[in-house]
Amino acid sequence: MKQVIFLFILATNLLFSQKKDSLIFSEQQKFETKKLIIPATLMTAGSIVLSTENRDFSVTENKNFLAFGGYPEDYLQFAPHVSLYAFEWAGMKPKTDFWNRTAILAKSEIIVFGSTYLFKKAIKKPRPDGSNEFGFPSGHTANVFAGATMLSMEYGENYRWVPYVAYSVATGVGVLRIAHDKHYWSDVIFGAGLGILSTKIAYWTHQYQWNKKSEKDNLTILYKEHL
């Protein structure tokens, strides 16, 4: 169990240090097998923990353990998504124009919520608090890591601090889900990998059909002439 949690922390740290994806002038990203390593590691680790974890332990059994009130993660899970546009309004430069960025975000959300729902329905794992059988994987964690990945891909190359903040918030949401007795470690670890993978797929499959006229501006033409 400790080894798998270590892998989760290691994989999250690798997200901070990995080479940022290049989205120059909204060109379609090429699929690269190496970019599957981190989400695959997290999802594999989550699956391993799922089969070995002690589900008799409940956070609520220990009154001194992270006794939070309310569920701030219900809102925090959308912080990276809001930041995708808030950062631009604040003067920061994203890698993708508004319409293509919005299309990619919509595609990522469809993938992450759709896949999360299918896993929950298929596995029917009880939550630690016994409220229902939709514990695996963590939808909050999957969603926030999907948003954090997109935020990092859009702004991380020009603003190196963005991935650190984005993935710190995402990790915090996962911890809060455990602290609030809504999920086990396996749910959160697998959800993180699923969220990252969902956004990667959204970029890999996007054709950049939106806002094509922006590619005809003088700056783009000048850039392409000097390639």
Q: Domain residue spans in the chain?
A: 73-227
Assign residue 25 a region (left: φ > 0; alpha: ψ between -120 and 50; beta: otherwise): left
Higher pLDDT, 140 or 70: 140
User: 117 — phi, psi (to 5°)?
Assistant: -60, -45
Q: Which of 52, 14, 15, 41 is nearest to 185 (CA)?
A: 52
Residues listed for the chain = 227
Residue 190 predicted with pLDDT over 50:
yes
> Which has more confidence, 141 or 57?
141
CB 9 within 8 A of CB 204: no
Residue 32: pLDDT over 60: yes
pLDDT score, position 195:
96
Contacts of 167 (CB under 8 A, 6+ apart): 12, 15, 16, 145, 148, 152
Mean pLDDT across the chain? 79
- Report pLDDT for 3: 45
- Specify the higher pLDDT residue, 43 or 110: 110
Q: Return the structure tokens found at 53.
A: 């974890």
How high is the pLDDT of residue 43?
79
User: 24 pLDDT exceeds 50?
Assistant: no
3-state class of 160 per DSSP? coil
Closest listed residue to residue 151, CA positions, set 80, 87, 102, 55: 80
Q: Which of 15-29, 50-64, 86-100 has the highest mean pLDDT?
A: 86-100
pLDDT at res. 40: 78
Residue 8 has pLDDT above 90, yes or no: no
* Band of pLDDT at residue 130, cut at 50, 70 and 90: confident
Lowest mean pLDDT among 88-97, 115-124, 186-195, 203-212: 203-212
Do the beta carbons of residue 199 and residue 148 sit within 8 Å?
no
- Degrees, nearest 5: CA angle 152-154-160: 50
pLDDT for the residue 209: 65
* Distance of alpha carbon 169 from alpha carbon 62, whole angstroms: 25
pLDDT band at 149 (very low <50, low <70, confident <90, very high): very high
Share of the chain above pLDDT 70, in %: 67
State the pLDDT at residue 71. 83
pLDDT for residue 25: 43
Question: Is 118 a residue whose pLDDT tops 90?
Answer: yes
- What angle, 0 to 180 degrees and rounded to 10, lies between the N-to-C axes of helices 79-89 and 161-179? 150
Render pLDDT for 71-111 as a digit per residue (tens, 0 to 9): 899 999 999 999 999 999 999 999 999 999 999 999 999 99
Q: How far apart are CA 114 and CA 91, in angstroms?
A: 33
The whole-number pLDDT of residue 13 equals: 56
